[in-house]
Amino acid sequence: MTDLSTARDTLRQFIDTHFDHQVQTLARLVQCPSDNPPGDCAPHAELTARLLEAMDLKVERHPVPAAFAAQHGMRSVTNLIVRERFGDGPVIALNAHGDVVPPGSGWSGSPYGGEVRDGWLYGRGAAVSKSDFTTYAFAMRALTRRLMLTTTAAGMAAAADSVCLECLAGARPTRERAVVELRDLVGYRRDEVVIEARVIVLDDDDGAQLPVAALDEAPDRKRGAEEIVEVGASTRLLEALKGRPISRLVYASSSSVYGDAAAIPMREDERPQPVSPYGVTKLAAEHLCHLYFVNYGVPAVALRYFTVYGPHQRPDMGFNRFFSAILDGRPLIQFGDGLQTRDFTFVADAAKATADAAVRGVPGRVYNIGGGSRVSLREVFDLIARVSGRKVTIDQQDAQKGDMRDTYADTSRARADLSFAPSVTLEEGLRQMWRWMEANQ
């Protein structure tokens, strides 16, 4: 199979996999009237921008001066530009317009309904203009996907590939459709890794483009240790990697290993004393990685993530639950006094650290990966109110057992070895997540 045909297959697979999302996005645009006349198109532009930003595309907004728009018979116009550079070749501009001619008579349904019937989507702009937005956007995402996969593959030596070990939660169909790429790229077969673990590349809907050896379910922090599969499955995966020509195994650990006894900021050489089953199993798997490095030469690196958040976060995680409550008009649940603090890490910073650890991490070492600021839960609620523009009400409940009081990472080791430097502030990260939550509610 040629490189060109492989690229085409990758692009087609991405577009086919995300077709339902593309249809939903087009329906949202159709449901926002942008008839011209009267030409009041700025609201449609803003909706389009938010939908594109929810796909992790960077959108420039260029409002047209009202007087100039009026000279051309329109009330409001905003031009949007999305730029992506794939190399040093020519610049290609794809143009789409959001305004449409007002609907005539004879419609069997609402021209703004975005209704799908018998496999066809009906609505004004569904065949042209608004459909161009979605066609170009999802083609752009497919090209970006292809570039990231190619970059990931190129960054690994031909006989020494990197693997990241983590528990992956989320909808099973999303996990299943992501299985193929790394298995083919690295050459592992699923049955070599055993039932509980498989080698995959995370689909971009999960917010990452990294090779991951994933367990079927994330551990429930409320379960007893005997019910958590992480330790056993991690052992089996490490066994499967003995003697394999890999350059790194990156284990996704957690700040939960520290417990409440560690000094602030938390250093990797601090004695871990976890206070939850989740933290205990994360620490146990860290020790297993070290054991297999010392005894069998498996080049394992462990990353202790500090409260990762961002677009595509699982529905059961904190910020997703907070924003969902705001969108539904419900109070935000606060466990305890709200003065507990966390070091929040934006998902893009965590993903970059993971990719860098797969290349530059020192085997046998553990690294803290934190966002660089210590913020209380009450301060988080203030930020959520600011970025959402909504009133926040609080439902205070008893503190949960097993929850750490404070976390704050000393990342000097990661900075020295991995050149780690968090780039997204908590307010900006929450703003990006809010846009994604709004667009996907």
pLDDT tens digit sequence for 326-385: 999 999 999 999 999 999 999 888 888 888 888 889 999 999 999 998 999 999 999 999
Please report the pLDDT score of residue 31 as a whole number.
Answer: 93
pLDDT on residue 235: 84
Number of C-beta neighbours around residue 325 at 10 A: 18
Please give the single-letter amino acid code of residue 298.
V
Which among 167, 249, 150 is positioned nearest to 206, based on CA atoms?
167
- Residue 34: pLDDT band by 50, 70, 90 thresholds? very high
89 band by pLDDT with thresholds 50, 70 and 90 = confident
In this prediction, residue 175 carries a pLDDT of 36
Q: CA-to-CA distance for 223 and 131, rounded, in angstroms?
A: 47
Compute the average pLDDT of residues 305-332: 91
pTM of the complete model = 0.60
- Reported as a pLDDT band with limits 50, 70 and 90, residue 204 is very low
Go through 364-386 and write b for each residue having 16 or more CB atoms within 10 A of its CB, e for each that does not: ebbbbbbbbbbbebebbbebbee
pLDDT of residue 80: 92
Q: If DSSP codes are grouped into helix, strand and coil, which group holds residue 368?
A: strand
pLDDT at 145: 62
Residue 188 appears among annotated catalytic residues: no
Catalytic choice (188, 251, 258, 278): 278
Q: What is the pLDDT of residue 340?
A: 93
The residue ranking higher by pLDDT, 24 or 4, is 24
Task: Read off the pLDDT of residues 266-283 as tens digits, 9 standing for 90 and up.
Answer: 999 999 999 988 899 999
End-to-end CA distance of the chain: 41
Burial class (CB in 10 A: 0-12, 13-18, 19+), 261: exposed
Tokens of 323: 């924003």
- List residues bridging with 163 in a β-sheet: 249
Alpha helices by DSSP H, listed for 55-129, are: 66-71
| pLDDT bracket for residue 112 (50, 70, 90) | very high
Q: Which residue type does 166 have?
A: E
Identify the three-state secondary structure at position 396.
strand
Kindly list the structural domains of the chain, giving each domain's residue range(s) and its CATH number in brackets, ordered by start: 3-85+92-102+110-144 (3.40.630.10), 161-439 (3.40.50.720)
**Cα 124 versus chain centre, distance:** 32
pLDDT at position 203 over 80? no
Amino acid at the residue 367: Y
Average pLDDT over residues 384-411: 91
* Chain segment 138-182, per-residue pLDDT in tens: 888 777 765 544 433 333 332 234 444 443 323 333 333 333 333
Average pLDDT of every residue of the chain: 79
Q: Which of 136-140, 192-196, 321-325, 343-347 has the lowest mean pLDDT?
A: 192-196
